[in-house]
Amino acid sequence: MKKSKSAALERKKEVVAKLESFGLDLYEQMEKGVFPSIKMPSRSIENIRYSPEFRQYILGERKVHRSARNIRHIRPFTQLVWTAFFAHELAKHRKTSTLRDVYYSAQAYNMSFKDQPESNNIITDLETISGFAREDFNVFPEERSAIFGDLTIEYTVPGYEGKQLNLTSHPDGVMIGPALTSSEFAKTGADKVIAIEKGGLFTRFVEEQVHRKFNALLVLTAGQAPRATRHFIHRLNKELSLPVYIFTDGDPWGMHIAMVIISGSANAAHLRELTTPDAKWSGVWASDIVKYKLPSDPLTAVDVKRLYELQRDPRYEGKLWQRETKRFLKIKKKAEQEAFSRYGLTYIVDEYLPAKLEALEED
Amino acid sequence: MVQAFEEISAADFFYRNRDIAGFTNPSRAIFSSIRELVENSLDASDQSRIPPEIYIRLSFEYEGSMKGSGEVKAEDESLFENGFRGTEPKVYRLRVADNGSGVPARHIPAAFGQVLFGSKYKLKQTRGTFGLGGTMALLYGQITTHKHALVKSSTGGARIYIYKIMVDIPRNRPIILDRKILLNKEGWRGTIVEFSLEGDYAKAMSRILEYLKQTALVNPYANIMFIDPKGRLYKFTRVTTQMPRPPKETKPHPYGVDVEAIQRLIRVTPCRNMVDFMRNHFHRVGEKTSHKFLEFAGIGKTINPRKLSRERIVRLVKMMKRFRNFLPPDASCLSPISEELLKAGILKELQPEFIAFCQRQPSTYSGHPFIVEVAIAYGGNIARKNDLVLYRFANRIPLLYDEASDVSWRIIKRINWRRYKVSLDMPIAILVHICSTKVPYKTVGKEFIADRPEVKREVLNGIREAARQLQRFLTKREHVERERKRLSTFSKYLPKIAQFSTELAGKKRPPDIKKLLWSVKKYEEK
């Protein structure tokens, strides 16, 4: 526990140091009388590849060169430097910001971005250069997800430093926002993490005391898990050595929500520590639809197309994934998590979940 | 039933057919009257070589008398004019005064009281051509108001003559009502014409002002003053006293004569053999050409021209058209505006940013020499109206009506302007001037230039040449603009990069970027 306590603060320090050295590098180039320039890994499709070693997408060897000498580069270059400066200010004053906020703040420095995507893209540039995620710069997306369970955290945000909170204190769960993301883990009684795609089921699990019955931390991903949530799950797995189980709908989209938590996305190929390679997708599987005779809907043409795409995806090479995609295509059916309700409201907690967890532990 | 046959005079003909001379209706008539008299004045001062001072005054006399008369086709007018209908024609008094060469006393009555009498039938470039316009104006005034005209003129001698005249239309003769002779103590020279006419100034106003503006543009050495019926003064001031080289009178070119012309020459020639006849009466025909041609035509060199048979004369004309070795007409009989004067005029009236100019080499159509001048002006007071503005001139007079029928208009419409970096919403005016001993008008009213292939080619090439100059200007401007933008981009962003990285690095002073900014500038200048 003690070790992890310093980790969050250490990381903040590293981020600040990185930003400062970035500025110093540019400053020294200009002092030498040359146009400042930078090199960073290219994020173009051709330079993204899947690394079996890291079990996630990573960027290849190709680099892009950005120079203030180039008339087409100088504007995005300036925006990048400003963004670094802005992130540094945030870190210095221990403030947080959103992507939207960054877009508007730029205007105060007469540094307007053309539109939100342009500003988002520059932030991604900064992530690529520094190797830190935007959440490390205290820039958060608007979307939120939640966590519930026996974990006591200790805040590091100004005004709350040292203050502790047990995450069972609010039955709706605690939002995985900037304050939680930057907090230290003080102690936990849980021995596993269960991530759930949908809010309805998350609430049901809290009501049914799943956290107690299964000794688990419950995480609501609210659809595709935000980066902050993925990083948080990563930390739970890494710092607290908790195994992670992911529950999603039984369709290609639910499958992929689990996959992104496990192996990350191509969009985040420049970042590390967002993935949890050892996490397990625990359903709803295609085989569960058959085994539990779940009420189901036929796959749509889009679903089928998506399944074929996933079959070719390097992240889906594993036995389980190939088997389940094939099976979905075979039964041509999909089912939502709520489908278990046909056997009564508590069936999923009383019957399905224990059987599933047991099966997975044996794997 | 016996049909009645009768002969009518030239005046009678034009009285009956005044449409073809530009006197279609009250607003057109007032425009044409001013125009004909102003052009006479300009021609008169070209002869005297003194920069023209032209004073025009149009004043209201009384309400029109021809209300409801079938003579006035006011309803047609609404098709051409933008003024609102419902204004009844009124009677105006028009006075045009100039400081030109003046009309010799004995010619005054005929010059203003007889149709097709004039000094402009020679082969020389003039504005007027038929000796028709001035008299037509007076004739129109007479038939609409039944009043005489007043003409005052002096050639600068001891006397000033004042005539009160009317036109005897059936006989095409002037009627002199009164004649006064004054002593010319101050040595005044010039002509003043004053008469009453029915017209519609409200409708004609915009055309008249446009006409005067364009006249001032191609005659930048003229002072023109116009006082309109409301007492408003429009003044067009000269910017130069330099006048174009005067045109010389010339002999006919062999390509341009017909059988009748040869017969007329034979009647008056003093020459006793064909070699001399050819040499003396034709433009650009010398001893050598004369010999060569006669051999080519198979006509004896020693034949006395007076003895030529009709068949021979026809053959002579035919061979003249076929012979390829006549030298082209020279342009000494022409008086182009010249680059200097046209640019001065354009600068004065349009204040453009840039003027391209091209004067083509003299060329001929049917033996008539002509020169095309083209100018393209960009920016300044030229209106952006999603189309190029065309100003057409012939022998230094503006052509305002029937633009779409004009050869220049058609050429401009056919050119792919994008090739010259021109888009139609740019403020661009194209000026085309054709000067010739015989401008190929399609109508007597001098409205537009006919589609002669030779003329078309010259106009097209002239416009292309000027358009290329414009393209170079636009390209350069674009380049300068791009460069300015480039430098401003550097000087906008580089200081910011310096500022933000200074703060990130925790330094006190920003790095010196002056040298960097200077280096981008220098690089471009190389």
Q: What is the CATH number of the domain that holds B263?
A: 1.10.8.50
Taking all residues of chain B, what is their mean pLDDT, rounded to a whole number?
A: 86
The domain boundary, picked from A116, A140, A164, lies at A140
Average pLDDT over residues A274-291: 91
User: How far is Cα of residue A1 from the mean position of the Cα atoms in its chain?
Assistant: 23
The domain boundary, picked from B301, B322, B343, lies at B322
CB contact under 8 A, B501 and A26: yes
Asked whether residue B478 is assigned to any structural domain, the reply reads no
Query: Does residue B394 share a domain with residue B292?
Result: no
Give the span between the Cα atoms of B490 and B381, in whole angstroms: 34
The domain boundary, picked from B430, B451, B473, lies at B473
The domain boundary, picked from B437, B452, B473, lies at B473
User: How far is Cα of residue A239 from the mean position of the Cα atoms in its chain?
Assistant: 16
Query: Does residue A169 share a domain with residue A33?
Result: no
CATH (domain of A33): 1.10.10.10
Of B377 and A268, the structure prediction assigns the larger pLDDT to: B377
The domain boundary, picked from A123, A140, A157, lies at A140
Confidence of residue A362 (pLDDT cuts 50, 70, 90): low
Query: Does residue A193 share a domain with residue A172?
Result: yes
SS3 for B430-453, per residue? EEEEEEECCCCECCCCCCCECCCH
User: How far is Cα of residue B370 from the mean position of the Cα atoms in its chain?
Assistant: 13
Contacts of B513 in chain A (CB under 8 A): 30
CATH (domain of A201): 3.40.1360.10
Query: Does residue B383 share a domain with residue B260?
Result: no
CA angle B348, B350, B356 (to 5 degrees): 95
The domain boundary, picked from A112, A140, A168, lies at A140
Query: Does residue B279 share a domain with residue B223?
Result: no
Query: Does residue B62 share a domain with residue B127?
Result: yes
Query: Does residue A118 share a domain with residue A230?
Result: no
Nearest to A279 by CA among A207, A195, A355: A195
Query: Does residue B87 share a domain with residue B126?
Result: yes
Give yes or no for residue B78 having a pLDDT over 60: no
- pLDDT, tens digit (0-9, with 9 covering 90-100), for B361-417: 888 888 788 999 999 999 999 988 888 999 999 999 999 888 888 889 999 999 999
Rounded (10°) angle between helices A301-312 and A252-263: 30
Domain span at residue A95 reads: 2-140
Of B386 and B494, the structure prediction assigns the larger pLDDT to: B494
Query: Does residue B506 share a domain with residue B450?
Result: no
Structurally, how many domains does chain B consist of? 4
Confidence of residue B123 (pLDDT cuts 50, 70, 90): low
Query: Does residue B314 share a domain with residue B417?
Result: no
Which region holds residue B259: left if phi is over 0, alpha if psi is between -120 and 50, else beta?
alpha
pLDDT at B131: 66
Query: Does residue B172 share a domain with residue B94?
Result: yes
CB contact under 8 A, A74 and B505: no
CB contact under 8 A, A23 and B516: no
Average pLDDT over residues B290-297: 91
Query: Does residue B32 share a domain with residue B175?
Result: yes
**Region of poorest pLDDT, from A102-111, A182-191, A241-250, B290-299:** A102-111
**Region of poorest pLDDT, from A60-74, A134-148, B424-438, B488-502:** A134-148
Contacts of B497 in chain A (CB under 8 A): 26, 30, 36, 68, 74, 77-78, 81
Query: Does residue A90 share a domain with residue A24?
Result: yes
Query: Does residue A151 share a domain with residue A116?
Result: no
- pLDDT, tens digit (0-9, with 9 covering 90-100), for B91-102: 999 999 999 999
Structurally, how many domains does chain A consist of? 2
Residue B394, judged by CB atoms within 10 A of its CB (0-12, 13-18, 19+), counts as buried
Q: Give the strand order in the sheet containing A280-281.
A: A174-175, A146-148, A216-220, A192-196, A244-247, A280-281
Domain span at residue B427 reads: 333-473
> Could you tell me which chain A residue has the CA closest to the CA of B501?
A23
Give the closest of A20, A22, A75 to B493, CB-based.
A75
Query: Does residue B109 share a domain with residue B16?
Result: yes
Asked whether residue B429 is assigned to any structural domain, the reply reads yes
Phi, psi of B246 (to 5 degrees): -70, 145
Asked whether residue B4 is assigned to any structural domain, the reply reads no
Q: Is the ipTM of this complex over 0.85?
A: no
Asked whether residue B57 is assigned to any structural domain, the reply reads yes
Asked whether residue B468 is assigned to any structural domain, the reply reads yes
Query: Does residue A25 share a domain with residue A85?
Result: yes
Query: Does residue B500 share a domain with residue B408?
Result: no
Query: Does residue B423 share a domain with residue B374?
Result: yes
Query: Does residue A136 share a domain with residue A56?
Result: yes
Query: Does residue A128 share a domain with residue A70?
Result: yes
**Region of poorest pLDDT, from A104-118, A258-272, B90-104, B423-437:** A104-118
Query: Does residue A193 share a domain with residue A163?
Result: yes
Confidence of residue B260 (pLDDT cuts 50, 70, 90): confident
- pLDDT, tens digit (0-9, with 9 covering 90-100), for B15-52: 887 777 778 888 889 999 999 999 999 988 888 888 99
CATH (domain of B193): 3.30.565.10
Contacts of B511 in chain A (CB under 8 A): 27, 30-31
CB contact under 8 A, B512 and A111: no
